[in-house]
Chains A and B, each alone.
Chain A
Amino acid sequence: MRRAVAAAIACLSVGAAVVSAEPPPPGAASCSGCHPASPRVASPVPRLAGRDQASIVRAMQEFRSGARTGTVMDRIAKGFTDEEIQAIAAWLAAQP
């Protein structure tokens, strides 16, 4: 058991030293210009980190189709494909 824990710790430390944070997919890095990434920032614009992936996808698709009205998100969503929206939503959902 002790050996297994030691091995796990070794794996963890190697992982931490070698693996960098997953880079944001195309477009995702821009979101935090309005949607705060930092939990210290208070804003009426919702924080997206850790949100459910499917709900982010649905919101983007509705902004894009016009089913949901926005002030700027309707204009921004039109610049992204379904695949890009999926990737952005998955990355945001995985953020702490």
Chain B
Amino acid sequence: MKTGRREFLKLGVAAAATGLLPRPARGQGAASRVVVVGGGFAGASCARALRQADPRIAVTLVEANATFTACPFSNEVIAGLRELSAQQFTYERVAADGISIVPSAATAVDVAGRSVALAGGARLAYDRLVLAPGIDIRWGALPGYDEAAAAQMPHAWRAGEQTVLLRRQLEAMADGGVVVISAPANPFRCPPGPYERASLIAHYLKAKKPRSKLLLLDAKDAFSKQKLFQAAWADLYPGLIEWVPLSKGGNVTAVDAATRTFVTDFGRHQAAVANVIPPQKAGRIAELAGVADKTGWCPIDPITFESRLQPAVHVIGDSAIAGAMPKSAFAANAQAKTCAAAVARLLAGGAPSTPKLINTCYSLVAPDYGISIAGVYAPAGGQLAEVPGAGGVSPADAPRSTRAAEAALAQAWFRTITGEVFG
């Protein structure tokens, strides 16, 4: 049977009346509204990619800070190799794409009513919401570690004042002091980050305070790029870094900020400079929106990044449970662009296509010694899984020229990603 236009319209009206049709895409008179919460690598990328995917979408970016401070390369700031200002970016170019920047904090999400409440009481209505709040510290998860303790034993895991505080403490430390870093169990932001930090602090100590030592207490028995890091430590910093894995008593069970002491099942370690990389969870708005599960992170659909727990709310970046993808700036940017394409398609009434995503993470063991890990990911079994046969780390037997090339590529990557997202 051939269905004429009139019959088709009648069918449509009947279906709409009985609620069978999905929420229609908004017509040209009323643009679709997407609110993005969080202006980091994930959120700012997504806002811009949405405008690029479909300029008819009205995009609002909610970000309380006027300046973004990037975490990648902040370990160089701690080691005195770079200034914090090199990590800082503003939103002028993002706004110039026609994105409305709201300098406020999101305080609640009305999922049924599809609106976001802002500090001060205003509300933003949305058709689709993208949450990119990054991480929050899980205060209270490590006995003795609260916000006051972080002023004595900085985490420096959200870049900014904490980064500078840790650097100042290292600069003030007498030669011969013991620096202690504690690394958490998985998952956490930037899996190779604690080991890059240990490396670059060792680089600083070797040059400036050569009688000092670095103790790395780990809640794990294995870590990202482990063989490459350990080989480089033996080569560049012999005897300087001691890594204590979980099975050798590395798990920190409590800290005492007044005496800068780490307590483990095997003993106590007093530090001259103490860096606690604490347990983490998705940024607070994820919890308030009801998109975080009991792990503290946000389960998502691997095609659209839509929350498994709430409709029309997408979660990208460090706060999402992205399967095999690590919590990295590269991954956040890749997820943001994938999510933006899916959201644009959904708003236009279409079906999103199955994506493939890439991650690449560089770590510096020294300013001229870089190593990397890469991966390719695709949806499989309801999660983002690694594509077999692809990815992996830098070769173990590479010459120093390759390490120097990767260090230069790491610098280039930072300029590119920050230029793409904020420039």
Residues in A lying within 8 Å of B, measured CB to CB: 17, 20-21, 23-27, 29-38, 40-45, 71-72, 75-80, 84
Binds A, one of B9-17, B181-189, B223-231, B334-342: B334-342
Q: Are B357 and A78 in contact (CB under 8 A)?
A: no
Binds A, one of B124-132, B160-168, B406-414: B406-414
Q: For residues 269 through 305 of chain B, which have their beta carbon under 8 Å from a beta carbon of chain A? A: none
Residues of A near B56 (CB, < 8 A) are: 17, 20
Q: Are B408 and A44 in contact (CB under 8 A)?
A: yes
Residues in B lying within 8 Å of A, measured CB to CB: 28, 49, 52-54, 56, 330, 333-334, 337-338, 341, 344-345, 348, 353-360, 372, 374-376, 378, 387, 389-392, 394, 402, 405-406, 408-409, 412-413, 415-417, 419-420, 423
Q: Are A21 and B412 in contact (CB under 8 A)?
A: no
Residues of B near A32 (CB, < 8 A) are: 337, 416, 420
Q: Are B423 and A38 in contact (CB under 8 A)?
A: yes
Residue contacts A-B, CB under 8 angstroms, 22 given? A23-B345, A24-B337, A24-B341, A25-B353, A26-B354, A27-B356, A32-B420, A33-B334, A34-B416, A36-B419, A42-B419, A45-B409, A71-B372, A72-B360, A72-B372, A75-B390, A76-B358, A76-B390, A76-B391, A79-B375, A79-B389, A79-B390
Q: Are B334 and A30 in contact (CB under 8 A)?
A: yes
Beta-carbon nearest neighbor of A44 in chain B: B412
- In the assembled complex, the CB of A49 is this many whole angstroms from the nearest CB of chain B, namely 12
Q: Are A42 and B415 in contact (CB under 8 A)?
A: yes
Our pick among B337, B360, B409 for the contact of A76 (Cβ within 8 Å) is B360
Q: How far is the CA of A24 from the CA of B355 in the complex (A)?
A: 9
Q: Are A41 and B354 in contact (CB under 8 A)?
A: no
Q: How far is the CA of A40 from the CA of B353 in the complex (A)?
A: 30
Q: Are A78 and B356 in contact (CB under 8 A)?
A: no
Residues of B near A29 (CB, < 8 A) are: 49, 334, 337-338, 341, 355, 357
Residues of A near B330 (CB, < 8 A) are: 33
Most chain-A Cβ atoms within 10 A of its Cβ — which of B345, B357, B378, B420?
B420
Q: Are A71 and B54 in contact (CB under 8 A)?
A: no
Q: How far is the CA of A17 from the CA of B29 in the complex (A)?
A: 11
